[in-house]
Copies of this chain bind each other. A is one copy, B any other.
Amino acid sequence: MNSQDVILGLLHRAPLSGYEIKQKLEMPLSFFFDASFGTIYPTLAKMEALGYIVKESVVQEGRPNKNVYSLTSEGRAQFEQYLHSPVENDSYRSDFLVRMFFGEYTDQETLADWIRDEIRKTDAEAVQLERMKTEWGKDMPASKTLCLDIGIELNESKAQTLREALKRLTGADD
């Protein structure tokens, strides 16, 4: 799974420009996948060269023109091929947990600060995902709702574990 596969998926519903693709990636997709403009634009160019998408320039008033891309049948076939490839393992990378792992080389106050900060970030993400669910959760297919549910559950249980750990570490203040 890479940027190309995700872009193919996004273009399945409707033609989009690079800028619009970046916006669609914001949330909830950004919870488990991300891409910058430095990836999106070169990928679109490559996909056009491969015949997976076609470009159409759209002239706008009061705004810069945009290049809107739509899927070709080759693009749709390529997306099918992705869906038939083996599912890759999830990968979770955490600087925070690496620091906890080496926690014996750091003082308690720094550890507590890191944990408090992680709680803040985790809570913020959970809230954001919950807001999304109440806003758009109604007319979403069940599989898409699952993405939101997993995001919410993961963040909430992580925050809870962090809170318990903080209590044990600082001795109930905070």
Residues of A within 8 A of B (CB): 1, 5-6, 9, 12, 28-29, 31-34, 79, 83, 87-106, 110-111, 114, 117-118, 121, 141-144, 146-147, 149-150, 153-154, 156-158, 160-162, 164-165, 168-169
CB proximity of A36 to chain B, nearest CB, Å: 13
Please, which residues of chain B bring their CB within 8 A of the CB of A104? 141, 143-144
Please, which residues of chain B bring their CB within 8 A of the CB of A160? 153
Please, which residues of chain B bring their CB within 8 A of the CB of A110? 83
Please, which residues of chain B bring their CB within 8 A of the CB of A156? 157
Copies of this chain: 2
Please, which residues of chain B bring their CB within 8 A of the CB of A9? 98, 101-102, 105
In the A-B complex, list the 4 residue pairs whose CB atoms are closest, starting with the nearest: A103-B143, A88-B95, A1-B95, A32-B94
4 more CB-based (< 8 A) A-B contacts, given A83-B102, A83-B106: A29-B98, A90-B93, A90-B121, A149-B165
CB proximity of A158 to chain B, nearest CB, Å: 6
From known contacts A91-B93, A95-B90, infer whether A147 and B101 are also in contact, taking CB-CB under 8 Å.
Answer: yes
